[in-house]
Amino acid sequence: MATRTKPADRRTDALSKKRIVEAAIELLDAGGESALTFRALAAHLATGSGAIYHHVANKDDLLAAATNDVIARVVTEVAGDADPREAIRTVALGVFDAIDAHAWMGALLSRTPSLVALPQIFEGFGGQLQALGIPDRAQFDSASALVSYTLGVAGQNAANAHLFPHGTDRAAFLAAAAAQWARLDPARYQFVHKVAAQLPEHDDREQFLAGIDLILAGTEALAP
């Protein structure tokens, strides 16, 4: 007599888009963009693919929803009465940390500018630039500089972190890189020789914020 295969346990609670997005982020964090398939998501949620398609149209829709969800949390964490300059630094660092925690998001934001997440970042910076009194003619350029710098540095930082095996000693790696810099021709690489000793000691987040401060210094000079 043939043995019947026990059907997989299925969830009995109502499936929401919020839970689908949360599960998608979990899969993306664990295995990157290639790990997010509707089959894997259905197994993760103990449901069928049809139930997921009821809430999201396709993988691109799901990736967009996941990215928008992460960025929305970053932008809304800024206190309404925060100093505009500090609010810009908070948004920038929040995006930096979010991309560091969710490496898949950096590449997605760079190649898909139509995501709702990007206007959210622009709004997070732009509203504070208005509060700083930056002239209208300079607001778009200023916000674009902040967005481009934030996404570029955050994306590169996240990519660098995933180039090396888990457990790589960052200090030892940077010390080795600094030693290579120190061996370069000092006549041709005078500046590189000068800063090589700072390479192993620098903090990525502090250096990132230093760049934000440089952009803000130039932007604030435009204010009346």
pLDDT in tens, 17-73: 999 999 999 999 999 899 999 999 999 999 998 899 999 999 999 999 999 999 998
User: Quick one: CA dihedral 32, 22, 93, 203, positive or negative?
Assistant: negative
pLDDT in tens, 97-122: 999 999 899 888 877 766 788 999 99
Q: Would you kindly state where each structural domain of the chain is located, as residue ranges?
A: 85-220
Percent of the chain with pLDDT over 70: 90
- Is the pLDDT reported for residue 213 higher than 50? yes
CB atoms within 10 A of CB 209: 15
CA distance 71 to 91: 9
Average pLDDT (2-26) is 71
Helices (H), 77-203: 84-101, 104-111, 117-131, 136-161, 170-182, 190-195
53 Cβ neighbours under 8 A, 6+ residues apart: 38
Q: Which residue has the higher pLDDT, 50 or 3?
A: 50
> How much is the pLDDT for 159?
81
Q: What Rg do the C-alpha atoms of the chain give, in angstroms?
A: 22
Residue type for position 7:
P
Specify the fold of 85-220: Tetracycline Repressor; domain 2 (1.10.357)
